[in-house]
A and B are shown apart, each in its own frame.
Chain A
């Protein structure tokens, strides 16, 4: 399975993401610049954190019109796994691949600390290696991670089991303690916490590694086991 780490001007977690996939997960991975126009050679798309385009206008707003994003949308429609972390999540929201929007943290502070997350859905291709209700430790680092959606959207998110991770102790004011959601089809996940920064005990936690292992497991079951 081959992953693409999309690099925008201002991405700063691309190296962490690359390291997590290459060295800890042991999968193929390549950096892909934001002006690329073909992602057909990749099986999974990773949008890393950072401050794409300097967070000008709104976090993730400018990135939605970069060349590669129409290819990311295409990959998502084809059913390929797409993971957006932190700024990657914000980009997925701005692009409309996921519902809702991000506001400034309630405290107005940039929060950078380990957070306990509750796995709400272990049936997604991103979370099959976790147990429902499992509490994992994954760091957050954001100033705008205060997730918002209207009542109607929230109802749909709940009905379709799209809320995948919640905060055990809400650090930023997010609606319903939401830390990560998928699209309705379940192949696009956006989350504010950084699983790629929790892939080795040296980093304080390796709870994020199972997320990447889940993606590979799902891909193998779909494409390798069948042959």
Chain B
């Protein structure tokens, strides 16, 4: 089995109003060192091993559904796990 960890964030060029609101809140907390906050999503997929190209499959899932390439970027990590 593979465990795939996918991180989706708004693209650098796209303003993140939620992140900005959280940053202001952190400043109010006294955390004045915080310069930027970007909020994203974290997804964990578990995949069966098989006769397929893993990267190709992940890229397809990420670009067609898990992220919207118009406003979002994604990156992922793969871990091999033993089926329980």
| Residues of chain A whose beta carbon lies under 8 Å from any beta carbon of chain B | 57-58, 61, 64-65, 93-94, 99-101, 103-108, 148-150, 173
Q: Is the interface of A mostly helix, strand, loop or mixed?
A: loop
How far apart are the CA atoms of A99 and B66 in the complex, in Å?
Answer: 18
How far apart are the CA atoms of A104 and B17 in the complex, in Å?
Answer: 7
Interface centre among B14, B66, B68 (most CB of A within 10 A): B68
Contact B68 A101 (CB under 8 A): yes
| Residues of chain B whose beta carbon lies under 8 Å from any beta carbon of chain A | 10, 13-15, 17-18, 21, 41, 65-66, 68, 70-71
Contact A108 B17 (CB under 8 A): yes
How far apart are the CA atoms of A61 and B68 in the complex, in Å?
Answer: 8
How far apart are the CA atoms of A103 and B20 in the complex, in Å?
Answer: 14
How far apart are the CA atoms of A97 and B63 in the complex, in Å?
Answer: 16
Contact B17 A58 (CB under 8 A): no
How far apart are the CA atoms of A105 and B14 in the complex, in Å?
Answer: 13
> Which one of A58, A104, A106, A107 contacts B68 once the chains associate, using CB atoms below 8 Å?
A58
For B18, what are the chain A residues with a Cβ–Cβ distance below 8 Å? 104, 108
Contact A103 B14 (CB under 8 A): yes
Contact B17 A106 (CB under 8 A): yes
Please name the residue on chain A nearest to B70 by beta carbon. A101
How far apart are the CA atoms of A64 and B66 in the complex, in Å?
Answer: 12
